[in-house]
Structure 1
Amino acid sequence: MYNETDTKVVVASRRNFVKGAGALGVTALFGGIAPAVLAKSTALLKIGALNTYSKVYAALGNANLNGMNLYFEQIGNTIAGRKIEIIREDDELNPQVGLQKMKKLIESDSCDIVTGIQGSNVAMAAVQYMRQSQAFVLCSGAGITDLSYTGLPYLFRCSTSSYTTLSSMGEWLYANLSKQAVLSASDFAGGRNAIIEFKSGFVKRGGTVIKEIYPPLGNNDFSPYLADIRSTDAKATFGFYAGTDAVRFVKQYDEYGLSKNCRLTGSGFMLEGDTLPAQGRTALGCINALHYADTLDNAANRKFVTDYQARYKEFPSVYAEYGYVAAHIMHTAIEAVDGDTSDKNKLREAMRAVKFLAPRGPFRFTPETQSPTHNVYIREVAEIGGRITNKVIHTISEVPEPARRPI
């Protein structure tokens, strides 16, 4: 029969036994089933990588995934004791497909967090579902400004809000290049939004828009639109294209002879690492704005470029940097909550506190919008060391996104 002293000894012994067994593997003590408290720290960390891996934006989505994989490989594919499992889904740049795939990732795959989503049309189509499901999403693609003003507590964006980049570009173009311009973009939500935002800087300073032109997304022949530009006698154009559209537009622009008299400028996505190899010398001299360049001379970027080249045998594009930064943010925030992604409010606060020097330069989230505050670079396409790339000709430091919808 146990007395009080005996009871204390037994309890203490049991605690020591369980504590010691933890080092050996507590799962074995419970018939192969781990207690719930252990499941929190050892369950797979499921990350949904929803992006465009086919069609016009295929190179963009694949580069994003490459950048994310590179970072995760460097930390042993584990965060806070949880092994990382990436579940890749192709949205095909189709809003309906994207919504279906997001539902699968959240409801069937039980992902802790979803990242990616390059197409602005796909991202906006998923907003209502994100609101209903309370899904935790780190957008590492779509730049449409509207995404920042949805009021969704668990939606973050680590890529860019196009307003900060394009309004800055509009102001710079007016001050340094031309007081008049023709504007053109692929005819989809992101393209039209980009033109509106460029105008918010350009027209605000006093610039005149001669004409706006919107070829269809995935266009092959730009000659009718280039003829339209030529007819205006404009001295400068601003364009927003990406992927294969960007390659075709820039090459045909030069082939059409417009480069001689009408300076081609645009969003940096039009003249990036995924397009420049195909655009080649036809892109030389083009002016563009973006928050990243692979030629940036800072320690984080030098390491990123070196590691990416070693892993993938090519220079990283901005989309690869998106994925790399997304992985860094998830690592930092999830470590801060000791791997417990079930408390979304704590994870949100941890993510809002993330601040570091990324390959693009200083990075932090704008608290009101949960989109980035970062540098904007005015770049010129040049040949450096025998390679066609971008050199930075002007830096606008740590541009914050407006707390309220600017336009």
Structure 2
Amino acid sequence: MNTKKMITGIMATLAIVAATTTASRAEDTVKVGVVIPMTGGFQSNGRQINAALKTYVATHGETAGGKKVEFIVKDDGSSADNALRISQELVTSDKVSILTGFGNTPTALSVAQISKRAKIPQIIMVAATSSIMKASPYMLRTSWTIPQVASVIGKWAPENGTKKFVSIVSDYGPGADAEEWFSKTLEANGGSVISKLKVPLANPDFAPFLQRAADEKPEGLFVFVPTGAGAAFMKQFVERGLDKSGIKVIAMADVTDDDLLNDMGAPALGVITGGPYSTNHASPENQTFVDAFKKNNNGMRPNMVAAAAWDALDLIYKTLDKTKGDATGDTFVKAAEGMQLQSPRGPISIDPQTRDIVQNIYMRKVEKVGDEFYNTEFQTIENVKDPAH
């Protein structure tokens, strides 16, 4: 009987040791769920994010705050429903402490309910609609906001001689934000939007909208379409002869995406955009970033999505360093608030009041540099906050 009790006691002790060891291993690892669109309409964003993740880990290693950082990458297929289901599984089954990624606004919004309920930090790498930050107190953003960029363009254009516009935007949340903040700022600075056109998000055909815009005879077109659709827009702009009409294209940075600019070629020359980053941004940090990115991704060129993803990862690592590896929602977010980082795009910080990004916005012009096309920055507007907050 004593022998049986002893064996039972030993078995119980071994079980406790095993459980403790497993818990200890778990505590030594911070799991990060990366929910991105590797397929579907926003897959170019997923491709850039995945490449940035590969580059960041290759250059910074897999530890932060004294713990191993494990990334679990999942494809949401550009779908909000998929993003919600995947994030739920990442939190309940994979036990992730942090969620990041979110290549568009609908996916970020759908997952905000999990972030809020489970107190999981949700770090936005792309989704740029201003209002999403209100959806969860555990949300942080390292990309940009549509009003942050559109308001800068709306002020710059009339100050530089272009006042009469037609706006063409994709018909979804970010497009509405772009139209509203460009118009509002343009009109406050003496300009006017004589016609506001909305293009379907799925399978857009810009030709009829470009014809309507041409008929209005504006001085400029303000354009916002998601990354990836800019090439189709510029191709149709040239095909309709609008490049010779004297109508200027002054657009959001997505239209002349750095990743696709060489494929767009000559039609993009001279296009002016406002944005948070250009591949040829002149700084040592950016040179190091671009070189490492190309080295780790077969010569691929990083765009502003890659820069934002890189900064999200940098925010995760530096916040974990600050908390000594504690990724608990309240602790992590409090430590991240006010964080200042030297990004490939220039200095950035997390606004402690809004948890949103503060950064430089650059006015850029497409130019040919050697055999390649680049968005060349020619004016810097420093420390821009989201005016919609």
TM-score with structure 1 length normalisation?
A: 0.87
Alpha-carbon offset, residue 162 of structure 1: 1.6
Q: Where do residues 95-114 of structure 1 align in structure 2 (5 Å cutoff)?
A: 95-114=80-99
Counterpart residue number, 2:195: 211
Pick one of 300, 320, 325 that aligns with 1:339: 325
8 Å contact kept, 2:228–2:257: no
For residues 204 and 107 of structure 1, do their structure 2 counterparts lie closer, same or farther at Cα, with a shift above 3 Å needed?
A: farther
* 1:247-292 per-position Cα deviation (integer Å, ceiling 9, x unaligned): 1111111121112221111100111212212211110000000011
Pick one of 140, 154, 163 that aligns with 1:156: 140
Alignment of 1:235 onto 2:219: yes
Alpha-carbon offset, residue 187 of structure 1: 1.2
* 1:175-198 per-position Cα deviation (integer Å, ceiling 9, x unaligned): 113111010111111112221121
* 1:137-176 per-position Cα deviation (integer Å, ceiling 9, x unaligned): 01111010112344x3211001112211110111101211
For residues 214 and 329 of structure 1, do their structure 2 counterparts lie closer, same or farther at Cα, with a shift above 3 Å needed?
A: same
8 Å contact kept, 2:112–2:139: no
Counterpart residue number, 1:19: none
8 Å contact kept, 1:68–1:325: no
The 2-side partners of 1:71 and 1:284 are apart by 32
For residues 36 and 94 of structure 1, do their structure 2 counterparts lie closer, same or farther at Cα, with a shift above 3 Å needed?
A: closer
Q: Report SS of the residue matched to 1:345.
A: helix
Structure 2 gap ranges (5+) = 1-13
Q: Which amino acid aligns with 2:156?
A: W
Pick one of 394, 398, 401 that aligns with 2:379: 394
Q: Which structure has the greater CA radius of gyration? A: 1
Alpha-carbon offset, residue 359 of structure 1: 0.5
Alpha-carbon offset, residue 318 of structure 1: 0.9
8 Å contact kept, 2:32–2:72: yes
Counterpart residue number, 1:169: 153
Counterpart residue number, 1:256: 240
Counterpart residue number, 2:7: none
Pick one of 168, 191, 203 that aligns with 1:184: 168
* 1:336-395 per-position Cα deviation (integer Å, ceiling 9, x unaligned): 111122x32221121114212110101111111111111000000110122111101110
Alpha-carbon offset, residue 31 of structure 1: 4.9
Q: Which amino acid aligns with 2:227?
A: G
TM-score with structure 2 length normalisation?
A: 0.91
8 Å contact kept, 1:121–1:190: no
Instruction: Percent identity, please.
Output: 24
Counterpart residue number, 2:111: 126
Counterpart residue number, 1:224: 208
Counterpart residue number, 1:325: 311
Further displaced range: 323-332 or 141-150: 141-150
Residues matched between the structures, number: 374
The 2-side partners of 1:244 and 1:289 are apart by 17
Structure 1 gap ranges (5+) = 1-27
The 1-side partners of 2:227 and 2:381 are apart by 26
The 1-side partners of 2:270 and 2:161 are apart by 13
Q: Report SS of the residue matched to 1:170.
A: helix
For residues 121 and 399 of structure 1, do their structure 2 counterparts lie closer, same or farther at Cα, with a shift above 3 Å needed?
A: same
Alignment of 1:383 onto 2:348: no
8 Å contact kept, 2:121–2:332: no
Q: Which amino acid aligns with 2:185?
A: G
Counterpart residue number, 1:199: 183
Counterpart residue number, 1:17: none
Q: Where do residues 9-158 of structure 1 align in structure 2 (5 Å cutoff)?
A: 31-35=17-21, 38-39=24-25, 41-42=27-28, 44-150=29-135, 152-158=136-142
Q: Report SS of the residue matched to 1:243.
A: coil
Q: Report SS of the residue matched to 2:41.
A: helix
8 Å contact kept, 2:169–2:225: yes
Alignment of 1:358 onto 2:347: no
Further displaced range: 207-216 or 90-99: 90-99
* 1:217-236 per-position Cα deviation (integer Å, ceiling 9, x unaligned): 13253211111111111120
The 2-side partners of 1:390 and 1:41 are apart by 45
Q: Which amino acid aligns with 1:167?
A: S
The 2-side partners of 1:36 and 1:123 are apart by 32
Q: Report SS of the residue matched to 1:397.
A: strand
Alpha-carbon offset, residue 330 of structure 1: 0.5
Further displaced range: 210-219 or 126-135: 126-135
Alignment of 1:267 onto 2:214: no
Alpha-carbon offset, residue 29 of structure 1: 12
Q: Which amino acid aligns with 2:316?
A: M
For residues 160 and 243 of structure 1, do their structure 2 counterparts lie closer, same or farther at Cα, with a shift above 3 Å needed?
A: closer
Q: Where do residues 308-319 of structure 1 align in structure 2 (5 Å cutoff)?
A: 308-312=293-297, 313-319=299-305
8 Å contact kept, 2:38–2:77: yes
The 1-side partners of 2:216 and 2:149 are apart by 26
8 Å contact kept, 1:363–1:373: yes
8 Å contact kept, 1:118–1:141: yes
Q: Report SS of the residue matched to 1:227.
A: helix
Q: Report SS of the residue matched to 1:126.
A: helix
* 1:52-89 per-position Cα deviation (integer Å, ceiling 9, x unaligned): 11122111111012112211222222223433322222
Alpha-carbon offset, residue 325 of structure 1: 0.8
Q: Report SS of the residue matched to 2:265.
A: helix
The 1-side partners of 2:114 and 2:363 are apart by 36
